[in-house]
Structures are given as structure tokens and as C-alpha cells.
Amino acid sequence: MTSHTLGVEISCDGPDEQTDCPDSAAVHARFGSLSARQVRADGRKDGWTVRRAPGRLRDVCPGCRANTQPAV
Ligand SMILES: [Zn+2]
């Protein structure tokens, strides 16, 4: 049996404004995470980052983050 969790889906906005995410990545939300805030918290555990952009937030998956930030 397959169940589909109702809630928000956070998908990748990276790597930049003009380019779609090559992986079309989305956060794998934990059970019980329903709000955008909760799902973003899940994403951070997987290496996602949230960037402030004018008027909204941009969610960036680990793959795009690696493409847009210099390696540390
Ligand atoms: Zn991405």
C-alpha cells in the first residue's frame, strides 16, 4: 500500500534564477512534517540551504549548492 503524505513540497530553485535544477530535486519530508517550515528543517539535515531572495525564499538542494558555492 502506498500512502501519500499531504503537505508542502519544497523543490529546488537552484542553481540560479535562470537555470532549473538539473535533478529537479525535492526535499524528502520526514513523517509528520507538514508545514513549509518543518519540511525546510528536514531539508537542512540533508544539506539543503535556504537563501533569501527579494519577496521570497529560494530553496537550494545539495547538488546545486555545490555548483554555486566554492568548495570549502
Ligand atoms: Zn537543485
In angstroms, the first-to-last Cα distance of the chain is 43
Domain count, the chain: 1
- Interval between CA 1 and ligand 1 midpoint (Å): 30
DSSP strand E in 1-72: where?
Answer: 49-53, 56-60
Question: Domain of 4?
Answer: 1-64
Residue 71 lies in a domain: no
Spatial contact of 59 and 42, defined as CB atoms under 8 Å apart: no
Instruction: Compute mean pLDDT per 10 residues along the chain, 72 residues long, and list them.
Output: 72 88 92 93 95 89 80 51
Spatial contact of 15 and 64, defined as CB atoms under 8 Å apart: yes
Output the pLDDT for position 52. 87
Residue 69 lies in a domain: no
- Tell me how far apart the alpha carbons of residues 3 and 68 are, in angstroms, rounded to a whole number: 35
The pTM of the full predicted model, rounded to 2 decimals, is: 0.77
**Locus of grid cell 547538488:** 63
Output the pLDDT for position 42. 96
- Interval between CA 67 and ligand 1 midpoint (Å): 9
- Interval between CA 61 and ligand 1 midpoint (Å): 4
